[in-house]
Every structure is written in C-alpha cells, then in structure tokens.
A and B are shown apart, each in its own frame.
Chain A
Amino acid sequence: MKKLISLSFVLFALLAFSFEKGGYELGDKARDFSLKNVDGEMVSMDSYENAKGFMIIFTCNTCPYSVAYEDRIIALHEKYADKGVPVIAINPNDAEKSPKDSFEKMIVRAENKGFPFPYVYDETQEITKAYGATNTPHVYVLDADRTVKYIGAIDNNTKSAEDADKKYVEDAVDAILSGKEVPVKKTKAIGCTIKWAS
C-alpha cells in the first residue's frame, strides 16, 4: 500500500510537471511545421534535403532585441546554410496584438534587410507553443535528427556582436557539425514577450 501511495505521488508529480512546463527541453525531438514564408511558399524542415541541423529562431519585426540581432542572424545563416544547417526564422506574434508584426509587415522587413533565410509566420501560434518559446529572439538549435541541442540566446552581448565573447549558437552548430558535445546547452536572454492572441 505504501508503495502504491508513493508511486501515485511520483506519478502525480510527473503529471503536474509535464502539464506546467510546455515546450521542448534539451534532448526532445522537435516537430516539423508547414508555415507561410514571406515569398508566399510554405516552408517545412522536410523541404530541406540532407540537412545536418537547423537554427530555428523565433524573432519578429518590432522587438528592439530582435532588430539588434538581425545582422547576426543573417551572418549565422550565411556561415552555416552551405554546411547544411540553415536558419528558419519564425515570427510568433499575433498581428492583432502587435500590428507591426503582421505578415505584410514581415514581407517589408525581409525585403529591407534582404533576409537570405525563410521568414515564416506562425499565425496560429501552435508551433511557438509546441517549442515553448517565451520571448524574441529565442533560438532552438536542432541536429540532423531534429533533436533539440541548444535553447536560448544567440550570444552574450545584445548590443554589439564584436563585444560578444560567448557565441552560444555558433558553438552549438560547430559542435553538431563536428559530432561533439554542445558546450553551453541552455542560456537565457532579455527579450520581448511573445504577443499571444487573446
């Protein structure tokens, strides 16, 4: 009987934990998606052949922290897309709550900045919830099996790329490409809250 009680406690704790914490943890397998890109085409991870991994970046037009990182996101894609690890940028914000994050405004932003990667819209916010992104920018680095290998910030200096001495995402991708252990697996960064639809 005692065993049963303690077992049910454990089960209850597990359930409570899994209900409370949405989103992916390290080691989870990330789901694919089919989201509309600024060029009108649907983008999914499946559409990439022989990908060795992905940098899934939740970002938007309006957050100054996202804007501060735009050039670095472009540089990441340019450095790693040819090596098989492209960037897919996902805008998670509800356009009613944040009108400047609408799909039309995404097209403008992508054109102005010349984004070389897909910039897709998670209009229903289903993917954002599944991944568990909380703010922008928020990065998930996946390996070839789409296992989550890194969650967090791009580097440790939002203001200036030159002054960042810890390049978390680069280090994670380098590790994946060379079959090594990702050195820093999880970080936090100040960012704008995701604007959830009400």
Chain B
Amino acid sequence: MNKFILSIFLLTSIFSTTKIWAQNGELKIIDVPELEEIMVQSEGDTLKVINFWATWCKPCIKELPYFVNAQNQFPEVEFIYVSIDFSENASKAEKFAQKKNLNPSGLFLIDDVDYNSWIDKVSPEWSGAIPATLIMKDSKKYFYEQEFHEGELEELIKQKLN
C-alpha cells in the first residue's frame, strides 16, 4: 500500500514537473508558481543554471554566448533561460533564443509584471537588475547579479561541481 502511494506520488511529481518543460526550442510563457517549480532543487539533483535575460538588455545579450559555451562544455548541467521581456514580445524572444542556440528545452518567459511580488522568491539578494543568474546545487542557491565574461561561468560551474 505504501509503495502504491509512493509511486502515485512519484508519478504525479514527475508529471507536475515535466508539464511545464518547454520543448523543441519553443519558449514557454510561465507564471510565478511555475517559475517557483523550475527553481525547485533537491539534494542529488544535477546542477542548474538559471539565467534571467531580456532581448532589450545589452549586457545580457553579450554574456549569452558564454552560457552557450558552458552548455556545450557541461552537458550534465541543466541550463534554463528565463526571459523578462513583455509577453507580447514572446516570439521575438523565442526567435532570438533559437538563433543564439540557447538550450531548446529551457526557454521560458515569466509573464508577471508585479515584480516586487516575486523578485525575492528568486533571491533576496536580487535588486531586480539584469543580467542575473541563479546557480543551484544540492538544494543550495548561489545568486549572481552581474554580467559574466569569457570563461568566468565555466570556472564557477567547475567549482560548484566539485
């Protein structure tokens, strides 16, 4: 009986996490609870890198190629890109992300302009300025409100993986 309940629980938890995953380079528009689901990280999970960007943010666009380099170098790491473009610009953000070769299964756009209600949920350290990146490993969160330069992100990921 316990096993049964456990498997139901596991199944539903699998479905509830996979249902929000974006597919095939499609950018998925999400709300705050879905963003929170993406940011769930439990012990033993792979390292997650969540980058907050927008098509209008120059320093974000400048650092994206370094994220793609890291994507290629660390296939075991999950790369997630959360655009904060307005939802009417979703297709623009999607095309841009595809062109830049951002992880096709990690493309999201957070559609909630009541920013004060959710910025602290990403990190209390976040002022709200972008670019911003959250690295998650073994249920620990590391937050970076900065633009990464060549090699810096790879170095950081290596550190966190060890």
Contacts and interface: CB of A to CB of B under 8 A. Distances in A.
B139 to A, nearest CB: 24
B113 A192 contact: no
Nearest to A184: B116
A193 B130 contact: yes
A187 interface: yes
Given A135-B127, A156-B114, A159-B113, A190 B86 contact: no
Nearest to A65: B56
B119 interface: yes
Interface residues of A, number: 20
Given A134-B127, A157-B113, A193-B129, A188 B119 contact: yes
Interface in A27-69: 63-64
B56 A190 contact: no
B119 to A, nearest CB: 4
Contacts of B129: 134-135, 190-194
B120 interface: yes
Contact of B116 (A135, A159, A187, A193): A187
A64 B127 contact: no
Contacts of A86: none
B130 A188 contact: no
Given A134-B129, A135-B129, A188-B126, A193 B59 contact: yes
A180 B49 CA distance: 44
B127 A158 contact: no
Given A159-B86, A193-B130, A153 B57 contact: no
A194 B58 CA distance: 12
* Contact size range, B: 20 to 34
Contacts of A134: 127-129, 145
Interface in B75-93: 84, 86
Contacts of A188: 115-116, 119-120, 126-128
Given A157-B113, A190-B115, A64 B56 contact: yes
Main secondary structure of the interface of B (DSSP, over half): loop
A152 interface: yes
Contacts of A193: 59, 129-131, 145, 147
B149 to A, nearest CB: 12
A192 B57 contact: yes
A134 B125 CA distance: 12
Contacts of B59: 193
Contacts of A110: none
- Interface centre among B126, B129, B147, by most A CB within 10 Å? B129
A191 B59 CA distance: 13
Given A191-B129, A192-B57, A152 B113 contact: no
A160 to B, nearest CB: 8
B115 A158 contact: yes
B73 interface: no
Interface in A150-198: 152-153, 156-159, 166, 187-194
A153 B117 CA distance: 12
B114 to A, nearest CB: 5
Contact of B117 (A98, A135, A156): A156
